[in-house]
Structures are given as structure tokens and as C-alpha cells.
Amino acid sequence: MAIDETKRKVLGWSLGISALAGTLGGLGLGVKKSFDPLPSVLEAGVVSVDLSALTLNKPTTIQFRGKPIFIIKKDNMNFVNEKRDVKIGDYFYSIMIGSCTHLGCIPAWKQEKFVCACHGGQFDSSGINTFGPPPKPLVIPAFKIQNSNIVLGEVGPEYTKLVNS
Amino acid sequence: MAEIKETNGIVDWLDERLAVRKLAKVLMTEYWIPKNINFLWAMGIVLMVTFMLLFVSGLMLLAYYKPDVALAFDSVNKTIMQDVGLGWLWRHMHAVGASLIFLVIYIHMFTAIYYGSYKKTREIIWITGMLLFVTFSAEAFSGYMLPWGQMSYWAATVITGLFENVPLVGEDLLVWLRGNFFVADATLTRFFMLHVVLLPISIMGIIALHFYSLRIPHVNNQEGEEIDFDEESKKFLDGNKKESKVIRFFPDFLSKDIFVLCIYLIFFFLLVGFSYNFAMDPINFEPANNLKTPAHIYPEWYFLWSYEILRGFFFDIPQGWWIGLDFLPKIPAMTIGLLAFGFANFIFFLLPFLDRSKVVAPAHKRGAFVVWFWLLLIDMIILTIWGKLPPEGINNVIGFIASMTFIGLFIALPIITIKERNKDKREAK
């Protein structure tokens, strides 16, 4: 009499497939977790800046997530662009990532504007591209206002408003 | 249980336990190679030896290299280059070897394309070969990061940055991949792990598979002739060596390979000793600085063709203009470039299936295919040259045309080869 092997095959395949799925799933989760940024990295990914200490009408550079962030505290309304600048207390503030939108070089502050040494791009004090190859204004990083501080790395309603304007 | 008999010497002793005589026959003395081949058939051994040189020089470098953003640059440029005895030699061998292995891989690939060695029963050889190309590319990229110079850093930034364009999860994926919000220590150590363990082990495994996949269909020959290996090997073993169309892998074929290898090694060590600068980008002798971008970022020469395809598409394409749906968002240039880049790196895997003709013959005997072959080669050389030029003015247009030509050639391949097949059928009737 021939032995019916259907059950054995079902059992064999079930074992094989569940073992494979378990191993790959476990390994996947393990690798995912191990390669996640460390707690110290995540902590350094949120930076609080005290606005009262900033110099007026000159950019202050802060290193945040490996990139320079320019913050300019302004009291001269001629240099304020309401679509790009945020009002906190008595002053307007321009906040932007100091990385040229052309090819990522870092522009330098020269005579009331940012000038990029690599390909000659220029941005005004609110980060709007005014000359040369840059295709768009400097990027505004995510920020949140907390009392008289700006917290970089968290999203606040003022940031959402600027980005959507 | 095997029959117990008197053991006669060490080989006999091993043979009883490991069947070494049978193994030697299968792998060497009765592994048959056609006589009708040329020096291009030696590239496999040349690659194997280059890989071994990379492996050994890599071990020596590993003895002093420090995978840490604060120490890496000096461990290479001071400790290894100035203090370690022969450290400069290992580094130059490793850098020159990495460059040359790609040159020989390209020669090896285009030899296979020219002689149709990817077709009919040899598909797995081609596919494992392409797997090796991809793994070697990953190996070269991860290794380039380790000296932690400016070009290491910014090449790593640009290439890992590509993953930001993955839909939906892009930004999170990028942070996960780098282990930080920018290329940093965590990035260096994990690519170090890939470069010195996971990728070399994978390469060795795939090489074994690549060799194994050759054993059954055998090596192709200059005319694409289908050889009856049983019959021809019988002639050889019976003493009709002159009549037989085949020779033994060892010692016959290998002795000729070693001649080609010797010539190659003379050039290799000439470059290592005297002309290594082509493999040592001056920008990389400045330590990595995440706040300073080099004016031009470009990969090593062997990645330039696919890099040029990546940036060849420099304008956004409006999705709906041709059907009057202007409101649809534009497809950004970056997305198109990425898709083309993915296409370029994947399409070679499909070559055995895109070629619809059954003819195994050198390109010059296949009509339109020979034109296709040279167009592909010339196009890839043009892409390589323009990949290094800054993306300005006319360069953008040339890059775009060359990229489109590359894609067009692979779309044309099935059409050309179906025509060839039909013509072949008509002639057979």
C-alpha cells in the first residue's frame, strides 16, 4: 500500500517556511534596531538657541546635525521678508540652513548678503536667492519657539506657517 | 564503509578520505578548455589574482587602520604611509588594484558580450558575474570612505544621500543608513564592517558560484562553436592531442594564462611603484570636513558612466503636457535620474534574455549586433569622460543624449536580435 505523504509535505513546508520567516524577520528587526541612531545622536539632533544672546543684524552660525545654521536677528524693517522671517518679541529672525541650494557649498556673509565662493551664487539676508546658479532660496530648518529660545529639530506652528506661505 | 586497503603515501591517504584524485580531475586535469581562444580568455585568472593581491594588501592595511573619525585619516596618511614598513606599498597596491580590477572586469564583460558568452546554458555565468560586479562596486565604494579624506566624505554624503529620494520613507531611511543626521562616526564604522567582512565574504562565495556555473556549460570559444566535450576530451586522453579541439585546464590552459598574467603583473607593479597618482585623488589628502564641500565631487573613473546617467537628466518633466493635464506635478529631474541610474545598473543582468537570437557567434558575424556592441562601448566611454566634467552648459546636453542613447540601445537590443533570429530561420529553410 502506498503511503499518503500529503501530511508530511504540509508539515515539512510549514516548518521550513515558518523557520525561514522567523529567522529573516528576527534578523531584520535586530539589524534595524542596531543600526538606528544612538540615543546620544538623537539628543544632539535637537538644539536650543537662546535668542537674547544673538548680535543684531549679523548672522550667528550654529552647528546642527552636521550642517551650519544661520540665524539673523533683525530690527531694520528694510531687511525683513515676512514670508521668510519670524517675529519673536520685538525682533524678526531669519533662520536657514547654510548650504547653497546649488551644490551644497557654504555661503559667507559679505556686505549684508550671503555669497557662495564655489559658483558665485548670492542670497539676501532672508535667504532668497538673488544672483547666480542657485535654483531656490536657502532651506528653513524645522524649528519651534519656546519662550525666548528657538529649538532646532522640532516642528512648531511658526515653522509650518513659514513653509506653507 | 569503504574497502580497507593498504595506504601508499600521503596522497593515497588523503584520497581514501577526501577523494582528492577525483577532485583534481573534476577541477583541473579533466576540466576541458577549447583550444580556439585568445588572450581575452585569461581575464578570469587575472581578476582572481588581482583580488588576491587586494585581499593580502587589505590584511596588511587592516593591521594598522583605525575606523574612527578622529583617527582614521592619520592612521592611513601618517602611520601606514610613513611609519609602517612597506605600508606605502600595501596602500598603493590596494588603491591601484581597486582601480585595475574594474578595468579588467569591464574587459571581461565586454569580451563576454562580444563573443556571446552570456547566451544559451551560460546565463548563470553571466548573472553571477554581474552579481560580482555589483558586490565589487559596493566594496569599492565602502573602501573609498575609509581614509576619511574630503573626497571620501563627500562621495559618501552624495551616494548615501541618494536614498533620501526613496518615496515615503526616504528621510528616515537616510538617517537610519548613516546612523546619524549626517555622515559621521557611525557611518564610518558600519561601512568599515561591510568593507572588511561582509562584502569580501560575499565576493568569495559568488566567485565560487561563478566558477561552478562554468563547469557544466564550459568556456565559450572564439567562433561560438558548440563542442562535444565528451568526444573531444576522449580524443585528448587517447593521445590525439593535435586533433582534439580541447586542452586541460591544468596544466595546459593555465600555463598560457600565467604568461598573460605575468605581463599584467609587470604593468600592475609599474603602476604601484611609479604611477600610482591616478588612484590617489589629491582632494582626499585633506581630512574630511562636514562644513566644507569640495568644488567638484566626482567618483572614481569606474563609476563615472553610471554617475553621468544619474545626473544626465537635468530638467524636470511636466507629466501631463501632452494630454493637456498641466495641473499634474512635474517629475523632478532627480527622480528621473535615479530611475535611469537604477535601470543602468540592473539592465545588464537581463542581457541573456534581452538578446532574442539563438546564434552564439562573435559580434562581427552577427550583422547589426556588431554595430550595437560598438555603439554601447563608445557610449559608455563618452559617459565616462563627461561624468568627470562639471555639469555646465553643453556638457549637460551631451550627458543627456549619451544617457538616452544608453537606454535606447537596451530597448533596441530585442528588436535587433529578433530580426537576426528571423533572418536565421529564413536561411535555414
DSSP helix/strand/coil, A146: strand
pLDDT of B401 strictly over 90: yes
Q: Are residues A115 and A49 in the same domain?
A: yes
B201-219: pLDDT as tens digits: 999 999 999 999 999 999 9
Q: B181, A68: Cβ pair inside 8 Å?
A: no
Q: How far apart are alpha carbons A129 and A42 in whole angstroms? A: 32
Q: How far apart are alpha carbons B330 and A101 in whole angstroms? A: 19
| 3-state per-residue secondary structure call for chain B | CCCCCCCCCHHHHHHHHHCHHHHHHHHHHCCEEECCCCHHHHHHHHHHHHHHHHHHHHHHHHCCCCCCCCCHHHHHHHHHHHHCCCHHHHHHHHHHHHHHHHHHHHHHHHHHHHCCCCCCCCHHHHHHHHHHHHHHHHHHHHHHHCCCEHHHHHHHHHHHHHHHHCCCCHHHHHHHHHCCCCCCHHHHHHHHHHHHHHHHHHHHHHHHHHHHHHHCCCCCCCCCCCCCHHHHHHHHHCCCCCCCCEEEHHHHHHHHHHHHHHHHHHHHHHHHHHCHHHHCCHHHHCECCCCCCCCCCCCCHHHHHHHHHHHHCCCCEECCHHHCCCCCCEECHHHHHHHHHHHHHHHHHHHHHHCCCCCCCCHHHCCHHHHHHHHHHHHHHHHHHHHHCCCCCHHHHHHHHHHHHHHHHHHHHHHHHHHHHHHHHHHHC
Q: A36, B180: Cβ pair inside 8 Å?
A: no
Q: Place B225 in a pLDDT band, splitting at 50, 70 and 90.
A: very high
> DSSP secondary-structure letter at A24?
H
DSSP helix/strand/coil, A22: helix
Cell for B150?
574630503
Residues of the domain holding B285: 31-297
pLDDT along chain A (165 residues), means of 10: 88 97 97 96 91 87 91 85 86 90 82 83 89 87 89 90 83
* A to B CB pairs, distance under 8 Å: 45
Cell for B378?
563608445
Q: How far apart are alpha carbons A35 and A46 in whole angstroms? A: 20
Smallest CA–CA distance from B154 into chain A, residue: A104
Boundary residue ending a domain (B267, B297, B327): B297
Give me the amino acid identity at B116: G
Strands across the sheet containing A91-97: A59-64, A67-74, A91-97, A85-88
A58 at interface of B, judged by CB pairs closer than 8 A = no
Q: Are residues B250 and B335 in the same domain?
A: no
pLDDT of B1 strictly over 60: no
Q: Are residues A77 and A146 in the same domain?
A: yes
pLDDT number for residue B284: 96
Q: Are residues A49 and A23 in the same domain?
A: no
Q: How far apart are alpha carbons B248 and B243 in whole angstroms? A: 14
B339-361: pLDDT as tens digits: 999 999 999 999 999 999 988 99
Q: Are residues B276 and B161 in the same domain?
A: yes
- For residue A69, how many other CB atoms are within 10 A of its CB? 23
Q: How close, in Å, is residue B294 to chain A by CA atoms? A: 8
Boundary residue ending a domain (B297, B324, B351): B297
B23 part of a folded domain: no
Q: Are residues A72 and A126 in the same domain?
A: yes
Smallest CA–CA distance from B191 into chain A, residue: A35
CA A65, chain centre distance (Å) = 8
pLDDT number for residue A75: 85
Within 8 A by CB and 6+ apart from B105, the residues are B47, B132, B133, B136
Q: Are residues B274 and B315 in the same domain?
A: no
A67 at interface of B, judged by CB pairs closer than 8 A = yes
Q: How far apart are alpha carbons B129 and B52 in whole angstroms? A: 17
**Residues facing A73 on adjacent strands:** A56, A93
Rounded average pLDDT over B87-100:
98
- In this prediction, what percent of chain B has a pLDDT beyond 90? 82
Q: Are residues B382 and B234 in the same domain?
A: no
CB B108 within 8 A of CB B117: no
Pick from B180, B330, B396 the residue to mutate for testing the A interface (most A CBs within 10 Å). Answer: B180
- For residue B10, how many other CB atoms are within 10 A of its CB? 9
Within 8 A by CB and 6+ apart from B347, the residues are B354, B410
B87-114 and B254-274 are packed helices; what angle lies between their axes, rounded to 10 degrees? Answer: 130
pLDDT of B5 strictly over 90: no
CA atoms A37, A42, A44, A47: torsion sign: positive
pLDDT number for residue B174: 94
Q: Place B319 in a pLDDT band, splitting at 50, 70 and 90.
A: low
Q: How many residues belong to chain A?
A: 165
B125-155: pLDDT as tens digits: 999 999 999 999 999 999 999 999 999 999 9
Give me the amino acid identity at B118: Y
Rounded average pLDDT over B175-196:
96
B9 part of a folded domain: no
pLDDT number for residue A51: 87
CA B113, chain centre distance (Å) = 14
pLDDT number for residue B322: 60
Chain B CB contacts of A103 under 8 Å are: 293, 297
What average pLDDT does chain B have? 93
CB B106 within 8 A of CB B328: no
Strands across the sheet containing A108-110: A108-110, A113-115, A122-123, A129-131
Q: Are residues B197 and B320 in the same domain?
A: no
- B126 by Cβ neighbours in 10 Å (0-12 / 13-18 / 19+) ranks as buried
B21 part of a folded domain: no
B290 at interface of A, judged by CB pairs closer than 8 A = yes
Q: How far apart are alpha carbons B62 and B6 in whole angstroms? A: 47
Cell for B108?
571581461
Q: Are residues B254 and B314 in the same domain?
A: no
pLDDT of B324 strictly over 90: no
Q: How many domains does chain B have?
A: 2
Q: Place B390 in a pLDDT band, splitting at 50, 70 and 90.
A: confident
Closest CB from A35, A65, A106 relative to B182: A65
B1 part of a folded domain: no
B11 part of a folded domain: no
Longest dimension (CA), chain A: 99
B16 part of a folded domain: no
B289 at interface of A, judged by CB pairs closer than 8 A = no
Task: List the single range of A85-94, B174-183, B407-416 with lowest mean pLDDT.
Answer: A85-94
**CATH number (domain holding residue B272):** 1.20.810.10
pTM, two decimal places: 0.91
Q: Are residues B355 and B399 in the same domain?
A: yes
Cell for A18?
515558518
> DSSP secondary-structure letter at A43?
H
Q: Are residues B287 and B313 in the same domain?
A: no
Boundary residue ending a domain (B297, B322, B353): B297
Rounded average pLDDT over B391-395:
83
B288 at interface of A, judged by CB pairs closer than 8 A = no
B382 part of a folded domain: yes
Residues of the domain holding A9: 1-36
Q: How close, in Å, is residue B169 to chain A by CA atoms? A: 14
CB B135 within 8 A of CB B203: yes
Q: Are residues A66 and A141 in the same domain?
A: yes
Continuous segment of H or E residues that includes residue A70: strand A67-74
> DSSP secondary-structure letter at A56?
B
B188 at interface of A, judged by CB pairs closer than 8 A = no
pLDDT number for residue B173: 95
Q: Are residues B320 and B240 in the same domain?
A: no
Q: Are residues A48 and A29 in the same domain?
A: no
Q: Are residues A11 and A68 in the same domain?
A: no
CB B80 within 8 A of CB B90: yes
B285-302: pLDDT as tens digits: 999 999 888 878 889 999
pLDDT number for residue A1: 67
Q: Are residues B243 and B368 in the same domain?
A: no
> DSSP secondary-structure letter at A54?
S
Q: A37, B181: Cβ pair inside 8 Å?
A: yes
Q: How far apart are alpha carbons B226 and B220 in whole angstroms? A: 8
Rounded average pLDDT over B406-426:
93
Within 8 A by CB and 6+ apart from B80, the residues are B61, B64, B65, B87, B88, B90, B91
Cell for B196?
572588511
B376 part of a folded domain: yes
Identify which has the larger pLDDT, B421 or A76. Answer: B421
Q: A67, B290: Cβ pair inside 8 Å?
A: yes
Q: Are residues A85 and A123 in the same domain?
A: yes
Give me the amino acid identity at B55: F
Q: Are residues B328 and B291 in the same domain?
A: no
Chain B CB contacts of A45 under 8 Å are: 181
pLDDT number for residue B129: 98
pLDDT number for residue A78: 80
Q: A106, B186: Cβ pair inside 8 Å?
A: no
**CATH number (domain holding residue A70):** 2.102.10.10
pLDDT of B423 strictly over 90: no
Q: How many domains does chain A have?
A: 2
Q: Place B334 in a pLDDT band, splitting at 50, 70 and 90.
A: confident
Q: Are residues A89 and A150 in the same domain?
A: yes
Q: Are residues A1 and A49 in the same domain?
A: no
Within 8 A by CB and 6+ apart from B281, the residues are B149, B151, B300
Q: How close, in Å, is residue A11 to chain B by CA atoms? A: 31
Residue of B26, B32, B31 whose CA lies nearest to B245: B32
Within 8 A by CB and 6+ apart from B280, the residues are B95
Q: Are residues B184 and B255 in the same domain?
A: yes
Q: B190, A35: Cβ pair inside 8 Å?
A: yes
pLDDT number for residue B292: 84
